[in-house]
């Protein structure tokens, strides 16, 4: 008899069970690893796609509205519908989940990257041009470094959002911790399984956010000094 069935036969149905965690540690860790891997891959791909789009919107002002509108429209598509649209073409593997997660992360990163670029002081851009910087050199050496706090803010928001959305991937069999949550519902509302998956999602989001916040402090020391001086 499986541990899950044994847990069901015990009196009561507690919201947390250490016995359940110990008895199913391999399954829980596998779900956590998948969840973290899907989140990291999705945010990385979204960042690689979103930053060039934000730069394009920054350079070509007439494209700002369409780029933000398109990414915003994609963001509003219900996740259930999005996976239903993608699955017939990509199947029910991790690719389907990744495409959906990337689509939802784009708006957050594009908007914050564009905001960061727009906040670069005009006098700094003028000084860069006066020193002979071309458009690309100015972007890479001046504007993107100064916009880094905005970019990292977008990445942090996208990461936390992606951790939550990854659970929906359970619809195509790759939902990470969502497997535990859905499994608990299917297993006669087994509370310990549902709560374990939920708590680990929250903890994963918090840990990743703290790691990115630490990276931001290391990569943008001037921003911290400016805040302390203010």
On whether residue 156 sits in a domain, the answer given is: yes
On whether residue 14 sits in a domain, the answer given is: no
Domain with residue 146: its CATH number is 1.10.3720.10
Q: What is the reported pTM?
A: 0.85
Structural domains in the chain (count): 1
On whether residue 11 sits in a domain, the answer given is: no
Which domain covers residue 185, as residue numbers? 25-229
On whether residue 129 sits in a domain, the answer given is: yes
Q: Give the integer Cα–Cα distance in Å for 109 and 44.
A: 11
On whether residue 179 sits in a domain, the answer given is: yes
On whether residue 20 sits in a domain, the answer given is: no
Report residue 170 as tokens: 């359970």
Cβ-in-10-Å burial (0-12, 13-18, 19+) of 163 comes to buried
Q: Give the integer Cα–Cα distance in Å for 155 and 43.
A: 7
Concatenating the DSSP letter of every residue in 109-164 gives HHHHHHHHHHTS-HHHHHHHHHTT--HHHHIIIIIHHHHHHHHHHHHHHHHHHHHH
For 34, other C-beta atoms within 10 Å of its C-beta total 20
On whether residue 9 sits in a domain, the answer given is: no
Sign of the Cα torsion 153, 158, 159, 163 reads positive
On whether residue 160 sits in a domain, the answer given is: yes
pLDDT tens, position by position, for the chain (230 residues)?
A: 333 444 444 456 778 778 878 888 898 899 999 999 999 999 999 999 999 999 999 999 999 999 999 999 999 988 888 888 888 888 778 888 999 999 999 999 999 999 999 999 889 888 888 888 888 999 999 999 999 999 999 999 999 999 999 988 887 878 888 888 888 777 777 788 888 889 999 999 999 999 999 998 888 776 665 555 55
């Amino acid at each position: 008899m499986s541990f899950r069935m044994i847990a069901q036969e015990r009196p009561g149905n507690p919201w947390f069970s250490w016995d359940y965690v110990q008895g199913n540690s391999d399954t829980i860790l596998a779900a956590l690893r998948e969840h973290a891997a899907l989140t990291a891959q999705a945010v990385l791909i979204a960042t690689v796609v979103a930053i060039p789009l934000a730069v394009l919107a920054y350079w070509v002002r007439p494209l700002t509205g369409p780029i933000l509108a398109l990414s915003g429209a994609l963001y509003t598509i219900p996740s259930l519908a999005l996976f239903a649209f993608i699955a017939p073409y990509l199947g029910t593997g991790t690719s389907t989940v990744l495409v959906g997660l990337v689509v939802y992360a784009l708006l957050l990163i594009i908007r914050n990257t564009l905001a960061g670029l727009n906040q670069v002081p005009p006098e700094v851009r003028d000084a860069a041009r006066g020193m002979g910087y071309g458009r690309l050199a100015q972007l890479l050496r001046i504007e993107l470094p100064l916009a880094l706090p905005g970019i990292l803010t977008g990445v942090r928001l996208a990461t936390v959002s992606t951790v939550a959305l990854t659970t929906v991937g359970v619809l195509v069999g790759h939902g990470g911790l969502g497997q535990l949550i859905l499994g608990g519902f299917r297993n006669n509302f087994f509370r310990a399984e549902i709560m374990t998956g939920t708590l680990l999602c929250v903890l994963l989001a918090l840990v990743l956010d703290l790691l990115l916040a630490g990276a931001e402090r290391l990569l943008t020391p001037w921003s911290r000094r400016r805040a302390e001086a203010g």
